[in-house]
Amino acid sequence: MPDHPDPRDPVLDFQRVLALARRHLPSAHAVTGVDESGGEARAYAIDDDFIFKTQRPHRVRPRTSLAKETLHLEQLARCAPEVNVPRVLGYGNEDDVEYILMTRMPGIALRYVEVEGVARSKLLRKLGSVLRRMHSLPLEPLVASGLFPGDSDCAAICDRLENLLQRAVEAATAARENWTLVVSPEEVAGSVSEGARTVHEAPVAIHSNPGTEHVFVDPHTLELSGVIDFGDAYISHPALDMRRWCDAGDRNALIGGYAAECPLNATFDANWRVISVANLMLDFAHRPRRRAEALEGLRSLLGGS
């Protein structure tokens, strides 16, 4: 059990965790670990194969919801059972504890595994095909729940992309003393801005961040195990689920897998470039440790500027 937890965020007594878990899994035997690496969530490992996930109130973001995550996972299990995501065994919300009990994803997060070359391309093509299947969920049950924020149509997505690009320019300009590109943040945004004004992709339910911390890999075969953590899901443009994959090779593999069974709209690439440029400028401004990586990503997208 972690030492000195925040008083606003106490670690639950393990016996209480087990009592709640046994409502859905009578065979639950022991809490075998506590993981706080998710930031806004705390995960209690139950035996070898299950996770009891709770919110951390002082860190939770307004868009994050365990009830939403439960519904999203249940819809994936119902409509896309071939997609490997945690399976919900139970959800509860009583007194000071909201939780999901679910299956544990095998493997380890991609951020902790070195996957390069052909193996990486194969992995990201598979992830792309999985994202395409995840994005095919019917929206009606999700919208009707009132739990999923987001965009109702293409016009709303355009507004989101234009606002995202504007915020990125303002943030990068405020950190201009560290900007080393020949072109200004305004010029960078201008080079892709047309992609924010034309959207033909219908809104979909997106994961929000299927990046290296949420994509799990078999460390022996280097194949995709699955995707976790749907608590920040919302409804918008599918390319927003690719914003963390800005390396040219990664991007080509991911989108190649995404488009393998069904071609993309002609504007998808332009929309993706807006999202990628904005995300990189925001990383440059707000994540000093990623500043050099963000600038290199922008140079690559702009063709070496």
Is residue 267, in this structure, part of any structural domain at all?
Answer: yes
Which distant-in-sequence residues (6+ apart) come within 8 Å of 221 by Cβ? none
- 3-state SS class at 63: coil
Is residue 175, in this structure, part of any structural domain at all?
Answer: yes
Q: 189 with 47, same domain? A: no
pLDDT value of residue 3: 46
Q: Which residue has the tokens 């987001």?
A: 150
Residue 78, token pair as written in the block:
């119902």
Longest dimension (CA), the chain: 63
Which distant-in-sequence residues (6+ apart) come within 8 Å of 294 by Cβ? 280, 281, 283, 284, 287
Q: 228 with 278, same domain? A: yes
**Using the 8-state DSSP alphabet, how is residue 139 labeled?**
S
Q: 83 with 193, same domain? A: no
Q: Which residue has the tokens 């047309």?
A: 194
- List phi, psi (to 5°) of 45: -75, 130
pLDDT value of residue 117: 96
pLDDT value of residue 54: 93
Q: Which residue has the tokens 């904005």?
A: 278
Which distant-in-sequence residues (6+ apart) come within 8 Å of 264 by Cβ? 201, 255, 258
The CATH number of the domain holding residue 258 is: 3.90.1200.10
* Strand ranges of the sheet holding 88-94, from the earlier edge strand across to the other edge: 31-35, 41-46, 50-55, 97-103, 88-94
How many folded domains does the chain comprise? 2
* Strand ranges of the sheet holding 215-217, from the earlier edge strand across to the other edge: 108-109, 215-217, 224-227
Q: 125 with 269, same domain? A: yes
Rounded Cα distance between 52 and 19, Å, is 11
The CATH number of the domain holding residue 92 is: 3.30.200.20
pLDDT value of residue 289: 93
Give the total residue count for the chain: 305
Q: Within a 10 A sphere around the Cβ of 81, how many other Cβ atoms?
A: 10
Q: 47 with 126, same domain? A: no
Residue among 50, 16, 10 nearest 33 (CA) = 50
pLDDT value of residue 181: 96
Per-residue pLDDT of the chain (305 residues), as tens digits, is: 444 456 567 899 999 999 999 999 999 999 999 998 766 789 999 999 999 999 876 666 667 899 999 999 999 999 999 999 999 999 999 878 899 999 999 999 999 999 999 999 999 999 999 999 999 999 999 999 999 999 999 999 999 999 999 999 999 999 999 999 999 999 999 999 999 999 999 999 999 999 999 999 999 999 999 999 999 999 999 999 998 887 888 989 999 999 998 899 989 999 999 999 999 999 999 999 999 999 999 998 888 55
Q: 123 with 247, same domain? A: yes
Rounded Cα distance between 260 and 248, Å, is 18
Domain boundary among 80, 103, 126: 103
Q: 223 with 143, same domain? A: yes
Is residue 5, in this structure, part of any structural domain at all?
Answer: no
Which distant-in-sequence residues (6+ apart) come within 8 Å of 104 by Cβ? 45, 48, 49, 50, 51, 86
Domain boundary among 76, 103, 130: 103
Rounded Cα distance between 192 and 276, Å, is 10
Residue 201 lies in domain: 108-301
